[in-house]
Structure 1
Amino acid sequence: MSNLDREKIAEETLQIIKNGFYVKNDVKIQLPHADYKKVQLFNPQTVDAIVNDEDEMLERCLNASKECAIHVENMDSYEAVHRFDMDHALVMNFANAVTPGGGFLHGANAQEESLCRNSTLYKSIGSVQAKEMYDYNREIQSPIDSDYMILSPEVCVFRDSRAQLLDHPYMTAVLTIPAPNLNGRAKGLDRDEIRDVMLHKIKTFLYVAARYGYRKLVLGAWGCGAFGHDARTVAGYFSTLLIKEKYWQFFDEIVFAVYDHSDEQYNYQSFAEVFQDYKYLGDTREVVAKADDNFILFSDLMPCVSGGFDHVNRDYDIGYTQGIFLDGKGFIAELFNLEGMQDKQVAIVMPEKIFIGLSEKEYVADFKTGSEETWNIAICQDIKDKKEIVDPSVIEQVSNYLEENQVMDFNNGFQAFGCKGKDLNGENVIVMGYTLGEGNRVICKTNLEFWHYEDKWRRMRIKCY
């Protein structure tokens, strides 16, 4: 495909975005309704705050009990999202630091240009809000540019890797981050400085991705095209952070999409060989709690709340999860059926300090006779000094918070019960329980995904093709 052909496709892509639909085989295909120009801009100060907020980020990491599968694939970034059915994935955009989309409008063919041709990405990174990053990088004239990043949370992909229109467009998110250009402003940097800058930038990408709840990533040979970086060296940077420094524990799945159709396939082979060195990684961290050796929580990756799982009752304890709310606060949760009840319920444990201004005297009371029996589920076994929440306004406040953070959906109202107590670490926590349905009637829904207690502790798997 020539530059002129790609330039025409770029024009067509912009028209599709403007129209909100395209026609394929006489069938009108509507793009999903979304705000395609929506961006979240991270300036260097914001990025630095995220990286250095260890209390929020490291100690409340949500993936301590989840494996991370790493794949190395010879395919383009969007194809990886589609092939691996990566719901709520984040794609790394190998960006130009000073021009939105690089040479997208002029038929260039690097990774960023391909992403822009095949999706709505240009609508967001070319927006007025995103312009701040490009202006700043242009003005400072730094060989390493800056730590600016652009998150495009709603990107619609409607072309395949050959720029053919899809029958079914799909959504993903993209985080735009420029690598130092070794064929441009960064040409004079020495090897050690390049290494430090690349490791720092990759680390900031991983922190921002984890901080905003993206558990599935599509990475690749960042900076290994027109910017002149060596693929084996860059693969080593990723390996240092993900494997040696264990950043893989932030995520469930990582695909290195290394699109390489050259005869020697050096870029692809470099990543495949680097990551094939790691078949299994053991863990030597201190165990906080475990359930029959099936579920293990490690102290250094706990969220801000912790619960005991020593006495899992297989009759009614169904599954567990842990995570981070949109505001960075951690939680743990359990799906269960109480004995004698047919309907599933969910319990969520979260820090009391999320909710400012609560007075214990006003909203809690001692458990009534028999009440504590209903909280004999695994997640509450080690929560001490439990007191019932009796103030309906507090239950409503906590429930609103859970809905705002997209954990619960209360369109049909809710039936809730709450208590306050102390977790394994002695921290004050609030536990909220909700009945999800009665018979065929749906009362409320949860957006959480739960892992079965029967699952063994899952280590990291790495798969290369």
Structure 2
Amino acid sequence: MPPHFDLALHHRLQDIASSTLAALGRASIGVDGKKYDLRQALAELRSSTELEPADSPRLASWNDLQTDHSARSRNTTLLFSQTSTLRALRRHATATTAGPTGSIRVGVLNFANAEHPGGGFEHGAQAQEESLVRSSTLYASLTSDIGRPFYSSHSTEPSGLYTDAMIWSPGVLFFRADDGDWIEPVTANVVTSPAVNAYEVKGRLGSSLPVDTRIADKMRERMARILRLFELKETTHVVLGSFGTGAFGNDIATIARLWADLLGPGSRFERSFAVVDFAIIDQRTLGVFKQHFEERCSSANPA
């Protein structure tokens, strides 16, 4: 058992996951004495789930569609929030200020386990994906007939690089807080995509500059495709984070610089969204991430 392992919390998270699965099975939840029928939402979610293959032409061409920044009046608001993904998405989903089109469309990046839907959420794991899946209807999308091939394709890809395939899950209902309490549902759209497992890649190929460069290049392409999918779906508010820097071992500074290259001044996605919120719960990670993101933006746009 690892140091600082909280057995009581582990069991509580298992119980939360179990009760969420039970709620999906009966297609209803109760919040403060009010019953919410999930049947229609679940049916629509399963039927509307989309699998973007690794060779998706519309995502692979992300850099061929140079943004005409002069034609877009809005500037993206970049936020760096010491908070969970759940809290961030709820804040934006309940915001009263709409985007230019008059409606807020929240998109969330799910840091996916490439081989198992929801990662280890049923077993009490605590990573970002697990928190999303045990708090929402997302699992119904990931395990749908459309979503499952995403996992079977990765089960035969042992390199740790994984592929650029991703799942689009529209209209996911989020109905639990970080502590597991049932709360009024809010809706967000979710992109499920795996980061490169840097630990696994380096364990196989060794640690060297060429390996680091290969990982960074792969991550840059994947992150760009994620943003392109959010853009195609007319997302206004995007909740991202320090993608893959936890259990997968990617370098925080590198991930921050890659996001800055894609979203910072003069970048391809500079004005694609109204708000981009980097929700990072760990204070140290947030500090390192924000520092390197801002430094990258400053070097790209010197005074």
**TM-score for the superposition, normalised by structure 1:** 0.55
- Asked if structure 1 preserves the Cα contact closer than 8 Å seen for 2:66 and 2:268, the reply is no
Do the aligned partners of residues 226 and 175 (structure 1) sit closer, same or farther apart at CA in structure 2, a change above 3 Å counting?
same
SS at match of 2:131: helix
Q: Does 1:96 align with 2:103?
A: no
Gaps of 5+ in 1: 283-465
Percentage of identical aligned residues: 29
Q: Which letter does structure 2 place at the counterpart of 1:6? A: L
The match for 1:64 is: 72
- Asked if structure 1 preserves the Cα contact closer than 8 Å seen for 2:62 and 2:224, the reply is no
**TM-score for the superposition, normalised by structure 2:** 0.83
Do the aligned partners of residues 100 and 60 (structure 1) sit closer, same or farther apart at CA in structure 2, a change above 3 Å counting?
farther
Q: Does 1:243 align with 2:264?
A: yes
- Asked if structure 1 preserves the Cα contact closer than 8 Å seen for 2:159 and 2:200, the reply is no
SS at match of 1:45: coil
Do the aligned partners of residues 275 and 193 (structure 1) sit closer, same or farther apart at CA in structure 2, a change above 3 Å counting?
closer
Q: Distance in 2 between matches of 1:27 and 1:161?
A: 20
Q: CA deviation at 1:62?
A: 10
Q: Distance in 1 between matches of 2:227 and 2:70?
A: 14
Q: Which letter does structure 2 place at the counterpart of 1:7? A: Q
- Asked if structure 1 preserves the Cα contact closer than 8 Å seen for 2:238 and 2:275, the reply is yes
Q: Which letter does structure 1 place at the counterpart of 2:120? A: G
Q: Does 1:51 align with 2:72?
A: no
Q: CA deviation at 1:18?
A: 2.2
Which is further off, 206-215 or 99-108? 206-215
SS at match of 1:151: strand
Which of 167, 180, 187 lines up with 1:150 in the alignment?
167
The match for 1:207 is: 228
The match for 2:137 is: 120
Give the 5 Å matches for 1:363-374. Answer: none
The match for 1:179 is: 195
Q: Distance in 2 between matches of 1:222 and 1:15?
A: 30
- Asked if structure 2 preserves the Cα contact closer than 8 Å seen for 1:13 and 1:118, the reply is yes
Q: Distance in 1 between matches of 2:274 and 2:200?
A: 36
Give the 5 Å matches for 1:419-430. Answer: none
Q: Distance in 1 between matches of 2:172 and 2:70?
A: 25
Q: Does 1:7 align with 2:19?
A: no
Q: CA deviation at 1:96?
A: 0.6
- Asked if structure 2 preserves the Cα contact closer than 8 Å seen for 1:120 and 1:157, the reply is yes
Q: CA deviation at 1:45?
A: 2.0
Q: CA deviation at 1:100?
A: 0.8
Q: CA deviation at 1:186?
A: 5.4
Give the 5 Å matches for 1:23-422. Answer: 23-31=30-38, 33-34=40-41, 35-37=44-46, 38-46=48-56, 48-52=57-61, 57-58=65-66, 64-84=72-92, 85=94, 87-166=104-183, 168-185=184-201, 187-189=203-205, 190-243=211-264, 245-260=267-282, 265-277=283-295
Q: CA deviation at 1:231?
A: 1.9
Q: Which letter does structure 1 place at the counterpart of 2:55? A: Q
- Asked if structure 1 preserves the Cα contact closer than 8 Å seen for 2:160 and 2:201, the reply is yes
Do the aligned partners of residues 249 and 161 (structure 1) sit closer, same or farther apart at CA in structure 2, a change above 3 Å counting?
same
SS at match of 2:213: helix
SS at match of 1:229: coil
Aligned residues: 276
Which is further off, 17-26 or 113-122? 17-26
Structure with a larger share of its residues in helix: 2
- Asked if structure 2 preserves the Cα contact closer than 8 Å seen for 1:50 and 1:211, the reply is no
- Asked if structure 2 preserves the Cα contact closer than 8 Å seen for 1:181 and 1:187, the reply is no
Answer 1 or 2: higher relative contact order, Cα 8 Å, separation at least 6.
2
Do the aligned partners of residues 53 and 172 (structure 1) sit closer, same or farther apart at CA in structure 2, a change above 3 Å counting?
closer
Larger C-alpha radius of gyration, 1 or 2? 1
Q: CA deviation at 1:274?
A: 3.0
Q: CA deviation at 1:31?
A: 4.1
Gaps of 5+ in 2: 1-7, 96-103, 206-210
SS at match of 1:209: helix
Q: CA deviation at 1:169?
A: 0.7
